[in-house]
């Protein structure tokens, strides 16, 4: 590098003028460190006039604490006529401290001998303050990031938990220790009601912080984080203020999740209860519609009983030798009473309100039992009810009453659809078949009025009915029963007349084609 040489007087003058133009404090020294020149900016910065700065006066501008180290550095550089750079504090006239970034370049005379230094002082106080503020900001940001990381982690856990509080707590407790300052010696525990989850290394320790978990403002548990070894005192025992914030935020978050899951569970339970009530209601309503035919059916054995018992009484009055005949008539009375009892029993089964229960059952048997009730109604409406049941169908695991309810609904709809059909065509056929995929298929065919054009979409919607006293719930409830059993329900229009409603049901789980 070319060594700067002491300029001629003219050049030096213009250099001094130039130094007055730039916003940097400049001063020049001779080889012994005596100040021989300061620019206006330097005087402003330090509050020292040119005269005050001259000689060693400039040293007064240095902050007392920095003086020793600055002069040492300066001396070392000067011994070798080297460049010198440092950052130190200077005291201004008003007593305020400012930090300057210093760069000192050695000067050489024409023969190349050292001739002193030219020194530039740039005020970096604002820059330093900004840097310090940025550092604080960065620190705060990293605290927030840690906090957010932890909470985002919990949100992810919630998304993948399948709605199980167990899963959420089990995973969250693993997430806590890495978010603490001394993660290697950090353990965690979460308690909500009777659920308790601990990190693998959990131990009860003296250095712990806890946050209460509340659900609907009632305490239900806590989040606990502990250090397994002692650590220096910080903001909250050995813990940082940000860790207190994280643990509090986690506790609030878990409380909200517990609240939400509780509410969701309630909704599901309520929905389930409502669905069961509705299913029951529609069953009862079908029974209501069938009331007159059922009454008729029960009336038959009852009047037979009355006739037979009257005959018995007459036989007894006439002659005691008629005992064998009396015995026979009593037998008939017994049979008729059983018949009436059986009808009442089947009715009670269907009308009783009960919790849905899945049992192993056979579709054909369920249909035969329904036919006994439905045939009563069919007969009253001059409709033939025919069963065409496929042999060897796979067993089901289903709610028998609900499946019977679906079949009964479809038969009832078929009967209703045939009020205007001539007598010879009035027939409802219930068929069972095995589908290629192994599901059981049930179909109910009528030769009634058929499905009105344009109503295909609405048919399965709740409250859609074309009947004067219809509820419009039969098909909607039937379809949801079948869907809940893993099956499908649909209809087709028959070629000749009427409609066929189908539904499928999967075989009992673990059925492999053999009973």
Contact (Cβ atoms closer than 8 angstroms) between residue 336 and residue 369:
no
Residue bearing tokens 């960065």: 138
Measured from the CB of residue 499, what is the shortest distance to ligand ADP in angstroms? 4
- Contact residues for 317 (Cβ-Cβ < 8 A; gap 6+): none
Nearer to ligand ADP, 118 or 417 (CB): 417
Per rule CB under 6 A, is residue 347 in the interface with ligand ADP? no
Nearer to ligand ADP, 354 or 493 (CB): 493
For ligand ADP, the nearest residue by Cβ is 474
What distances in angstroms separate CA 280 from CA 77, 228, 344, 379, 515, one per listed residue?
100, 59, 17, 25, 32
Coil, strand or helix: which one is 91? strand
Stretch 382-411: interaction string toward ligand ADP, x if CB under 6 A:
---------------------------x--
Measured from the CB of residue 415, what is the shortest distance to ligand ADP in angstroms? 9
Nearer to ligand ADP, 108 or 464 (CB): 464
- 456-460: long-range contacts at Cβ-Cβ below 8 A with a sequence spacing of 24 or more? 459/491, 460/489
Residue bearing tokens 């049930």: 442
Measured from the CB of residue 397, what is the shortest distance to ligand ADP in angstroms? 26
Measured from the CB of residue 494, what is the shortest distance to ligand ADP in angstroms? 10
Among positions 261-290, residues that touch ligand ADP (CB under 6 A) are none
- The 10 Å Cβ neighbour count of residue 381 is 14
Nearer to ligand ADP, 437 or 469 (CB): 469
Nearer to ligand ADP, 112 or 452 (CB): 452
Contact (Cβ atoms closer than 8 angstroms) between residue 397 and residue 372:
no
- What's the distance, CA 412 to chain centroid? 43
Contact (Cβ atoms closer than 8 angstroms) between residue 237 and residue 205:
no
Stated as kind and residue range, the H or E segment containing 370 is: helix 363-380
Measured from the CB of residue 473, what is the shortest distance to ligand ADP in angstroms? 6
Give the CA count within 13 Å in the CB-facing half-sphere of 397.
6
- Which of these, 286, 267, 504, lies nearest to 416 by C-alpha position? 286
Size of the site for ligand ADP (CB under 6 A): 22
The DSSP bridge pattern shows strands 427-434 and 384-388 to be parallel
Per rule CB under 6 A, is residue 499 in the interface with ligand ADP? yes
Q: At what angle do helices 241-289 and 291-318 cross, to 10 degrees?
A: 50
Among positions 119-178, residues that touch ligand ADP (CB under 6 A) are none
Return d(Cα 472, Cα 447) in angstroms, integer.
21
Return d(Cα 275, Cα 355) in angstroms, integer.
11
Return d(Cα 124, Cα 116) in angstroms, integer.
25
Among positions 408-447, residues that touch ligand ADP (CB under 6 A) are 409, 413-414, 417, 446
Nearer to ligand ADP, 46 or 405 (CB): 405
Measured from the CB of residue 412, what is the shortest distance to ligand ADP in angstroms? 7
Backbone angles phi, psi at 63, to 5 degrees: -65, 135
Per rule CB under 6 A, is residue 357 in the interface with ligand ADP? no
Among positions 455-494, residues that touch ligand ADP (CB under 6 A) are 459, 464-467, 470-476
Per rule CB under 6 A, is residue 301 in the interface with ligand ADP? no
Nearer to ligand ADP, 116 or 448 (CB): 448
Q: Which of 373, 378, 451, 489 binds ligand ADP (CB under 6 A)?
A: 451
Measured from the CB of residue 475, what is the shortest distance to ligand ADP in angstroms? 3
Per rule CB under 6 A, is residue 448 in the interface with ligand ADP? yes
DSSP designation for 3 = P
Coil, strand or helix: which one is 439? coil
Q: Which of 57, 449, 480, 494 binds ligand ADP (CB under 6 A)?
A: 449
Stretch 307-346: interaction string toward ligand ADP, x if CB under 6 A:
----------------------------------------
Return d(Cα 275, Cα 496) in angstroms, integer.
37
Measured from the CB of residue 453, what is the shortest distance to ligand ADP in angstroms? 12
Nearer to ligand ADP, 98 or 479 (CB): 479
Measured from the CB of residue 349, what is the shortest distance to ligand ADP in angstroms? 21
Contact (Cβ atoms closer than 8 angstroms) between residue 173 and residue 199:
yes
Measured from the CB of residue 173, what is the shortest distance to ligand ADP in angstroms? 51
Nearer to ligand ADP, 374 or 475 (CB): 475
Measured from the CB of residue 469, what is the shortest distance to ligand ADP in angstroms? 8
Strands (E), 337-473: 359-361, 384-388, 396-398, 427-434, 440-445
Which strands form 427-434's sheet, in the order they lie side by side? Answer: 384-388, 427-434, 440-445, 499-505, 489-493
Measured from the CB of residue 472, what is the shortest distance to ligand ADP in angstroms? 4
- Contact residues for 159 (Cβ-Cβ < 8 A; gap 6+): none
Nearer to ligand ADP, 78 or 451 (CB): 451
Nearer to ligand ADP, 51 or 382 (CB): 382
Measured from the CB of residue 491, what is the shortest distance to ligand ADP in angstroms? 8
Nearer to ligand ADP, 160 or 493 (CB): 493
Angle 243-244-245 from CA coordinates, rounded to 5°: 90
Nearer to ligand ADP, 186 or 443 (CB): 443
Given the rule CB under 6 A, which residues bind ligand ADP? Answer: 409, 413-414, 417, 446, 448-451, 459, 464-467, 470-476, 499
């Amino acid at each position: 590098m070319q060594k700067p040489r002491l300029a001629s007087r003219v050049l030096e003058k213009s250099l001094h003028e130039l130094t007055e133009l730039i916003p940097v404090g400049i001063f020049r020294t001779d080889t012994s460190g005596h100040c021989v020149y300061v620019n206006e900016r330097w005087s402003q910065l330090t509050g020292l006039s040119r005269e005050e700065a001259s000689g060693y006066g400039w040293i007064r501008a240095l902050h007392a604490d920095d003086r020793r180290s600055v002069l040492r550095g300066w001396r070392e550089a000067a011994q070798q006529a080297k460049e010198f750079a440092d950052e130190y504090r200077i005291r201004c006239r008003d007593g305020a401290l400012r930090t300057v970034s210093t760069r000192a370049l050695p000067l050489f005379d024409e023969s190349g001998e050292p001739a002193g230094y030219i020194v530039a002082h740039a005020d970096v106080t604002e820059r330093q303050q900004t840097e310090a503020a940025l550092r604080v900001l960065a620190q705060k940001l990293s605290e927030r990031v840690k906090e957010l990381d932890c909470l985002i982690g919990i949100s992810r856990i919630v998304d993948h938990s399948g709605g199980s509080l167990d899963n959420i707590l089990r995973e969250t407790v693993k997430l806590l220790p890495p978010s603490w300052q001394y993660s290697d010696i950090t353990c965690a525990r979460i308690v909500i009601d009777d659920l308790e989850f601990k990190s693998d290394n959990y131990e009860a320790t003296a250095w712990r912080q806890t946050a209460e978990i509340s659900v609907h403002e009632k305490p239900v548990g806590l989040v606990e984080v502990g250090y397994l070894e002692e650590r220096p005192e910080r903001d909250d025992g050995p813990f940082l203020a940000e860790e207190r914030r994280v643990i509090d935020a986690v506790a609030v978050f878990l409380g909200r999740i517990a609240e939400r899951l509780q509410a969701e569970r309630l909704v599901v339970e309520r929905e389930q209860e409502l669905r069961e009530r509705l299913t029951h209601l529609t069953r009862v309503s079908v029974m209501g519609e069938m009331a007159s035919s059922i009454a008729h059916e029960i009336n038959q054995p009852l009047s037979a009983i009355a006739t037979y018992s009257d005959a018995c009484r007459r036989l007894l009055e006439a002659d005691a030798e008629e005992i064998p005949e009396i015995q026979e008539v009593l037998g008939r009375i017994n049979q008729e009473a059983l018949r009436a009892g059986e009808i009442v029993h089947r009715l009670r089964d269907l009308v009783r309100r009960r919790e849905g229960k899945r049992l192993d059952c056979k579709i054909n048997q369920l249909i035969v039992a329904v036919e006994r009730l439905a045939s009563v109604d069919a007969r009253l409406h001059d409709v033939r009810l025919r069963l065409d049941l496929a042999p060897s169908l796979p067993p089901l695991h289903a709610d028998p009453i609900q499946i019977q309810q679906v079949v009964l609904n479809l038969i009832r709809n078929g009967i209703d659809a045939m009020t205007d059909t001539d007598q010879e065509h009035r027939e409802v056929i219930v068929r069972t078949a095995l589908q290629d995929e192994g599901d059981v298929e049930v179909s109910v065919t009528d030769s009634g009025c058929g499905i009105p054009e344009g109503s295909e979409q609405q048919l399965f919607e709740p409250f859609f009915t074309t009947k004067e006293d219809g509820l419009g719930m039969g098909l909607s409830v039937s379809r949801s029963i079948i869907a809940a059993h893993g099956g499908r329900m649909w209809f087709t229009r028959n070629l000749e007349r009427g409609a066929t409603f189908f539904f499928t049901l999967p075989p009992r789980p673990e059925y492999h084609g053999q009973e």
